[in-house]
Structures are given as C-alpha cells and as structure tokens.
Amino acid sequence: MTKCKLLMYISCFIILCMCSCSNNEKNTDISSYGNFNEYVRRDLEKSIALLPKTIPSDATVDNYIYSYSCAPLGDPNYSILLCLRFSDENSFGFEKNRIVELIGENVTITNSEGKEWYYWGETKVGLEQLNNTEIHDGLFVRITYAMIDYENRQIIYAVGVLVDGSTYDDDIIDIGCRGL
C-alpha cells in the first residue's frame, strides 16, 4: 500500500510541475523582428498581413514588443506591437496606402485626437471587453489594429490572440483602447 501511495504522490507532483511550467517569451529587440515561434508564424499566415515584412530603412522604431505565453494545459496567447516613425513623407505614404488597401468589409475606422484607427474583425469589441473589470475567463480575442498619425508620420501596428484569464502584455490593449 505504501508503494501505491508513493506512486500517487509522485504522479501528482509531476502533474503539478507540468501545470506550473509554462512557455513564455517576451522580446523587445527589434533586430529579431520576424523571428516568431511556429504557432505565431502559422497564425499570422492565416490572418491579415498588417505587419510589414521588414522594417523600412527610413523608419525609426519607437516601440516593439513581441510577447508569447502558453501553459501546458492552457491556451496560447501572443501579441506583437510595433510603432514606427517615418522620416520620409513618401515612404510614410507608401506604408499608409499599403494598410488602407487591406481594408475590407469588416473594418471599423475611428478618428481620435487627429489619428485614424483601423480595427479589423471583432477587435474593437474584444478590446472593450478585455479593458473592463468584468471577468471573461476564456474569452478569445483576435486583435488586429493600426493607428496612423499623419502629423507625426507614425504608424502603430498591433496583432495578436489574447485569451482572458491568461497572461498577456497589457500594452496592446491600452494603446488600442485610445481610439475607441
């Protein structure tokens, strides 16, 4: 009987260790832009190509955050936030036009503080739900938005999959809610 209890305790310990271990990545180094894990790469291939393939040579990176987390028995979350400031009006216009060409039927456009915000799909509703204090445990939100600031020649790109109740980077929500 003691061997059986010992095996039970060891099994419980192993299961607890597996549940407490998680796969977390956070990267702010722009030189590794585009080096996302396999899950994120596959998900990005299925969604709107909002993110630039490479950082334009005349753009300054004001902010870059790539975040991924997944517990062994949990749902994967990721977010990519990229903020570029363009020194050249032509390249800013080219990138702005590339984003505008992505607009389809399922885009909400808002203007706030002289900036244009583009929210694809259910992003706007999802941001509102994640930003309030209610518990939406297990709420799955696909985030895809862009902000175009004409005065400062700045573009913010944000994409991700967030599940409420899981660990994710709040910056993508906080910035996205500014245009709501």
Structure confidence by residue, pLDDT tens digits, 11-28: 555 554 444 445 778 888
Identify the residue with better confidence: 46 or 157: 157
Q: Spell out where the chain has E strands.
A: 23-27, 59-70, 77-86, 107-112, 115-120, 140-149, 154-163
Residue 91 has a pLDDT of: 92
Examine residue 47 and state whether it is found in any structural domain, yes or no.
yes
Asked whether the predicted pLDDT for residue 167 surpasses 90, the reply is no
Q: How many domains does the chain have?
A: 1
Q: How confident is the model at residue 150 (pLDDT cuts 50, 70, 90)?
A: very high
Residue 93 has a pLDDT of: 94
Task: Classify residue 179 by burial, with Cβ atoms within 10 Å: 0-12, 13-18, 19+.
Answer: buried
Q: Helices (H), strands (E): how many in the chain? A: 5, 7
Domain that holds residue 154: 23-179
Examine residue 1 and state whether it is found in any structural domain, yes or no.
no
Model pLDDT for residues 36-69, shown as the tens digit of each residue: 999 999 999 988 889 999 999 899 999 999 999 8
Residue 17 has a pLDDT of: 43
Q: How confident is the model at residue 6 (pLDDT cuts 50, 70, 90)?
A: low
Distance in angstroms (rounded) separating the CA atoms of residues 87 and 58: 6
Examine residue 11 and state whether it is found in any structural domain, yes or no.
no
